[in-house]
Each structure stands twice: as C-alpha cells, then as structure tokens.
Structure 1
Amino acid sequence: MLVTCFVGLSAWQVDRAQHKNDITNSADVDEVKDFNAVMNAQAPMPGILADQRVSLSGHWLPDAQVVVPGRVQDGDDGYWVVTMFAPDDAHLGEGVTAEGADEKTIAIPVVRGFTTGEDAAMSSQAKSGDVELTARIGPIEGPEPGNDLPEGQVRTVSTSQIINMFPDLLTYSGFLIPEKASGAAASIGTDGLAQVPTTTTRDEGGFDLQSAVYALEWIIFAAMALYMWFQLLRDDYFKRRLGEDSQDSENRAEYVVVKPAGSSTIDPEVMSNLTGLPAHRHGGKKPGKAGKSTRKTDTSTTGGN
C-alpha cells in the first residue's frame, strides 16, 4: 500500500513536470489589459502576471534613470537604459500605506533600449511629454552589489535598489519592456538606442527539472519501503525455518540421564562416560579390591588340602 502511494506521487510529479505551463498558458498573457487594473504600487506582483501585455499612458521622469551593464542582444554585449515612468491614475495596493505617499510620485522602471556603447547609454535621455505604451510586464530582478560600477549604473533591474537611488519615488514589483510607444515623447529605441525585444520571461513548455527530481525522490522512497518489506519477510522466513530445523533429528539436542527418576544417587558408570574419570571416583567400587579378595580365597583353599 505504501509503495503504491509513493509510486502514485512520483507519477503526479512527472505529470507536473510535463504540463507545468497549463495553468499559466490559460491566463492568456497576450491579451492587452489595463495596467492600473492589474498592477498596484508598493504591493507584491503575482507570478501569473509575468509577461502580461498591458497598456498605459503617462510621462517619463528623465532624471530618474539607471544603466544596467552585462546585457546581451543579438549576440552583442551591452547596456540597458532604464528610465522611470509615471503612469496616469497610478495607485497603491489595497490596504498599502507608505510614508509621505502624497508627496511622492508613483513610477515603474521601463527599459527604453539597448546599446553596446557605455557613453551612449549614460548620455541617453528620455523626452518630456505625454506617452502611451503597450508593454509586457517583467518580474523584478534581485539586487546585486554594484560598488565597483560607475555612478548611475546597477547590475539588475531591482526596484528596491532603484528606489534607494531615487527616494522621492514609489514603485512596483516589476518593470516594463515596451512593444510600442506613441506620443511626442515616445523615446523607445531612439537617441542611439535599439529597442529591446519583449522576450518571454515565463518558461515555455519543456520539462520541469525540479518536479522531475521530486518524482525521483518518491521512487527512491518506494524502493526503500519495498526493501524494508523484503527484509522483514526474509527475517520471518528464517525464523520459521530455524524453528522447523530444531525439530530435525540431525540437529536435535541429545540429553544424558545421569540420575534415573526416583533414584537418590547418580549412576557412577554414566558419570564416568561423561567425565572420563574412573567410575570409583564417582562413588563406584574399585576393580582392584574385588580381584585381591578372590586371590586370597583361592590360596587358602589350596593350602588346606
């Protein structure tokens, strides 16, 4: 029963490994949704929103910009230029409070473009004015130390790290990679920058290695349970076999009766056989005394005649 359960759990993990994207694919991330309807500032971003297409309007904050080195596009190493964008009608998450929220601007990092030149990245500036964007949401990256980088550069698109550089802003747990921009201040893939493709941040199909490892672990547990069952069965078999062998004549223990029932003394001959000592040493008669008595009797009889 236990082995069957473990094997069933293993099969379930294999199924998860093969079909891990069924739920996320059904979310229809290619449908364009209103940004403010799916994203709340200062609140965690559900993982299902990764790669979701959204539309929004707003304006750039040109002075709130960072450069991210170590990016690759079309096989070339280079830099991302990431500028903070203030969406219209942005709002905090339900029940979320932030100190000085009324005096701060809500903004989200937007990847404006890619360039292989550090100088071009550092000098690029977004324009002022209204902008309308269609973009995909990217899950925020973890912060990494960048003390060795020039001022204005960070290693990852981490909102916690960016906000430390611009304390007058409130932000989101995600960033945007634009598909298209319109308006006088579009500033996407311009000013010496190449537009960054909206790469899919969610895994697309394939085999989930983590679930596969879990499946293997359940198989190991099943094998251990089967081994323990076999050992118990084997031990029980040998116990039963030993019990039967003890009744065989070849292995039957032999007992020697040294004192018959009802007797108060031990048979000297029996004890002699056991110890190897003469019977008289165990209370029997000495053979020599009987011989001497016989010879004396014979001598006296002969002399009388």
Structure 2
Amino acid sequence: MSSPPTVSDTPPTPPGDAQVFPPTLREVMLRPQWLLMLGLCLVVAGVFAWLGQWQLDRAIDSDPPPPGQTEQVRPLADVVEPGQYLAEPLVGQRVETVGAWVPGDFVVVSSRFNDGEEGYWVTGQLRIADAAQPTSLAVAIGWAASRDDADAAAAELQRAAETGAADPVTLTGRLISDEGPGLPPRGAAASEMPRMSPAALLSVWHDTEGLDVYRPYLAAVDPSAAGETDLVAISSPAPAELAPVNWLNVFYAIEWAVFAGFAFYLWYRLARDAWEKEVEALEDAAAS
C-alpha cells in the first residue's frame, strides 16, 4: 500500500524569483569600460616611467670632469665665448688671458669677504688683445679692507693705465659666474655696487659701443699683475669636486616611479568601488 504524498512547508520558488549571484571583482575588472580605463592608466604610467628614466639619466654623469681640472690654467677663449653663460663644471676654472686696461673703468665693489673679513674689491675693464672685435672682461683685481684703501688703489691703477694704456698685461685667475646686479645698502650712495656683476659694470664703463662682453668675471690670482698697489690677493680656493651622482634627480626619478604605480592603484580602487556598490545594491534588492 503506497504512502500518501507529503506536503512541504516551503513553497516552491516561482520561476521569476531565481536567485541572483553577485559578480566577482575579476568579472567587473574584465568589463569593457574598466579595460579601457586600464589602457588609459597604462599610457599615463608609461609617461611617468619615461619621465623617471629621463631624471635618472640626468642624475648620473657618465662623463664627469677629471679631478683637478679647474686647477689647470687654460686659455680664456678655450673655456667660454663672449656673451655665453659659464657651464657649471667650469665655474672656478683657472684661465689666462692678455689684454689692456681701459682707463677710467676701475670700479670699487663693496660687501666683499676675504677669509671671513668684509671689505672691497677693485675691479677693472680688461680689453682682450687680438680679439676679432672689441671684447672686454670684467676683472676683480684685488681686495682692500677699507673703502679709502680701495679708492687709493683704484686711483693708482688709473694713473698707470693713463700712462701705459696700450701696454698689454697677462692675467691669471678663476672664472666666476655673474652674481647679478643688486641694490645698494640702505643709506649708501646710489652708485655703490654691492655685487660683482659684469652686466652692472657695463652700465658705467667707457667706450662700449659695439663691445662684446664676457658674462663671467675673472678673480685675479695676483693683484700685482695689474700694477703696483697695496691690494691683497682675493681668496679664491678651488671649487669642490662635483659628485658623479645628483641625488636630487634620483629622488625625482623615484617620485615618478611612485606616480606610475599610483595610476594602477587608482584603477584598481575605482573598479573595486564599483564592484562593492553593485554587490551592495544586489544585497539590498534581495533583502527587500
């Protein structure tokens, strides 16, 4: 005898209420819009990687100047041309040049320190010999402790230049980059020059029509080469040797690498947020 059929307490699930499973994170990431977003992140990361490589190439000097290069006396014309900026490896390079002083252009520059003591420089306009066209170089001749001593030395050089203006002099010194013009200190005369700037000196020099001028200036090693004065030699030690690695550029290269990694993290974070919102929406719909 067959047993009667049993009746379940759970009603059958209607066909329209089939259970919906939420997508996985991988499925969301493989959707077309997120693949397009990934492609854009690849382009951005590639640009950042290229910038990092460029910074790294600039950070490592594959051809550094040999040690002691600045101490080898070289002809001025072999180091820099008139009107050109002085390259960083050549700052402090010892050079030699021949020229004649231009009378009336011995100018005193203030706020000059020599071995920690403040004083003055006496400067002059040296007209370079055998140049294709008139060319001048600003020269810091020597240092004086007081303004009176500096003015007296400038007057002596002026008298010597007037009596032997055409006499050539041979000078040796270090090439230093232009400091740029500066305003005189408060209470000082408007004509006072507190910075060594060939551009500023050019404004007070004579006979400058059609003149070529070197942008850097020469700090003379021996003031007596310019004439008999009581000036003290300018203290100008050899510049520090440049390191073959620029660590600042290395730091920038690391930053670009971090930015490239962040582009991929941003894509992952946006895709994950979209997936979490979709899952949450499905859960809310199922609960209601």
Runs of at least 5 residues in structure 2 that lack an aligned partner in the other structure: 1-41, 162-166
> How far has the Cα of 1:161 moved from its partner?
1.4
What is the aligned counterpart of 1:205 among 228, 236, 243?
Answer: 243
> How far has the Cα of 1:122 moved from its partner?
1.7
Give the secondary-structure state (helix, strand or coil) at the position aligned to 1:141.
coil
Alignment of 1:25-174 (within 5 A): 25=65, 28-41=69-82, 43-48=83-88, 49-92=90-133, 105-125=134-154, 126=157, 127-128=160-161, 129-146=167-184, 149-150=188-189, 153-169=192-208, 170=211, 171-174=213-216
Q: 1:23 to 1:146 in 2, by over 3 A?
A: farther
> How far has the Cα of 1:91 moved from its partner?
3.4
Q: Distance in 2 between matches of 1:199 and 1:91?
A: 33
Q: Distance in 1 between matches of 2:189 and 2:103?
A: 19
Is 1:232 the counterpart of 2:273? The answer is no
Runs of at least 5 residues in structure 1 that lack an aligned partner in the other structure: 93-104, 254-305
Residues 142 and 234, structure 2, Cα contact 8 Å, conserved in 1: yes
Which of structures 1 and 2 has the bigger CA Rg?
A: 1
Q: Distance in 2 between matches of 1:198 and 1:173?
A: 19
Is 1:176 the counterpart of 2:218? The answer is yes
Q: 1:197 to 1:161 in 2, by over 3 A?
A: same
Number of residue pairs matched by the alignment: 231
TM value normalised by structure 1: 0.61
Is 1:241 the counterpart of 2:248? The answer is no
Q: Distance in 1 between matches of 2:238 and 2:191?
A: 27
Give the secondary-structure state (helix, strand or coil) at the position aligned to 1:63.
coil
TM value normalised by structure 2: 0.64
Give the secondary-structure state (helix, strand or coil) at the position aligned to 2:195.
coil
Q: Distance in 2 between matches of 1:65 and 1:151?
A: 17
> How far has the Cα of 1:196 moved from its partner?
1.1
> How far has the Cα of 1:7 moved from its partner?
5.9
The one-letter amino acid paired with 2:141 is R
Identity across the alignment (%) = 26
The one-letter amino acid paired with 1:237 is W
Give the secondary-structure state (helix, strand or coil) at the position aligned to 1:67.
strand
Q: 1:78 to 1:26 in 2, by over 3 A?
A: same
Q: 1:146 to 1:216 in 2, by over 3 A?
A: farther
The one-letter amino acid paired with 1:230 is Y
What does residue 192 of structure 1 align with? 230
Residues 108 and 151, structure 2, Cα contact 8 Å, conserved in 1: yes
